[in-house]
Amino acid sequence: MTVGAVVLTMGNRPEELRALLDSVAEQEGDPVEVVVVGNGSPLPELDVPGLMVRTVELPENVGIPAGRNVGIEAFGPGGTDVDVLLFLDDDGLLARPDTAELCRQAFAAEEKLGIISFRIADPDTGETQRRHVPRLRASDPMRSSRVTTFLGGANAARTAVFAQVGGLPDDFFYAHEETDLAWRALDAGWLVDYRSDMLLLHPTMAPSRHAVYHRMVARNRVWLARRNLPALLVPVYLGVWFLLTLARRPSWPALRVWLAGFKEGWTTPCGPRRPMKWRTVWRLTRLGRPPVI
């Protein structure tokens, strides 16, 4: 089973990028071919012993999902020149040399397994934040399980998933693009797993460090629902998230940006609408994440 890797970078972390590529070069089994996408930035020289690295430099920052889609297509249409693609944050580090081999084994053992979400831990403290465990019951990050979404910068995906359901939604730019893809994959019959033994070390950072965070989180939440949910569930899902956001009592400046993004989600095109089947709604519910939460 052939494995490639896509790394998206803004070009501002060259030392961390080099360390990540070194950890990919150390993976056991057949070599992993890597495509590094410079998202609106030039790339440094990436000559890593034992690793085949190709580069793509985009003239502007097209956002995370579109940038990763460019990396997918660098492996042929839908990434189908390889069987599996790893997606790794440029400031992450594969903690174990057998991660690629564990992915090969997992996908070979279960033909309907489509996506694997890795565990993320801080390299200094070893802590895994609750938000990095892609399920509601997140208190035990060491428990592997079936899930309904995945972590964008620490995962592996079977390229047959992209061939069947398409890639990440380009227009999302940042936030919720993983859930959009996961819902489409689950609706097509694929499985998504969280694996605690597949570990990416990554510094603990608040997602709100991104200037566009509050706007994109709100807008894309609306787009996610409009694109994927049965019409009956769209107002329920978004109503719950609206109330949850207010209950978290964000600062007024943050809430004002969030409300503007929420409005934008209703008033701008969200892309093609393909509502999931009701049996997929039930499947998500049985997995512990009904699509109203």
20, 31, 123 from 204: Cα distances, Å: 16, 29, 9
Angstrom distance (rounded) from CA 107 to CA 58: 31
Angstrom distance (rounded) from CA 134 to CA 184: 16
pLDDT in tens, 157-190: 999 999 999 999 999 999 999 999 999 999 999 9
Using DSSP, state whether 279 is helix, strand or coil: helix
pLDDT of residue 207: 72
pLDDT in tens, 190-228: 999 999 999 999 999 877 655 689 999 999 999 999 999
70, 123, 153, 173 from 64: Cα distances, Å: 10, 23, 10, 6
Q: Which among 135, 260, 265 has a CA at the least distance from the CA of 193?
A: 135
Angstrom distance (rounded) from CA 118 to CA 100: 11
- Supply the DSSP symbol for 83: S
pLDDT in tens, 231-290: 999 999 999 999 999 999 999 999 999 999 999 999 999 999 999 999 999 999 999 999
Q: CA 152, 64, 269, 187: dihedral to nearest 10 degrees?
A: -30
Q: What is the mean pLDDT of the chain?
A: 96
pLDDT in tens, 100-152: 999 999 999 999 999 999 999 999 999 999 999 999 999 999 999 999 999 99
Residue 152 CB contacts under 8 Å (≥ 6 apart), including other chains: 64, 68, 87, 177, 178
- By DSSP bridging, strand 113-121 and strand 154-158 are antiparallel
pLDDT of residue 211: 63
CATH of the domain spanning 3-201, picked from 3.40.50.620, 3.90.550.60, 3.50.50.60, 1.10.3720.10:
3.90.550.60
Outline which parts of the chain fall under CATH 3.90.550.60.
3-201
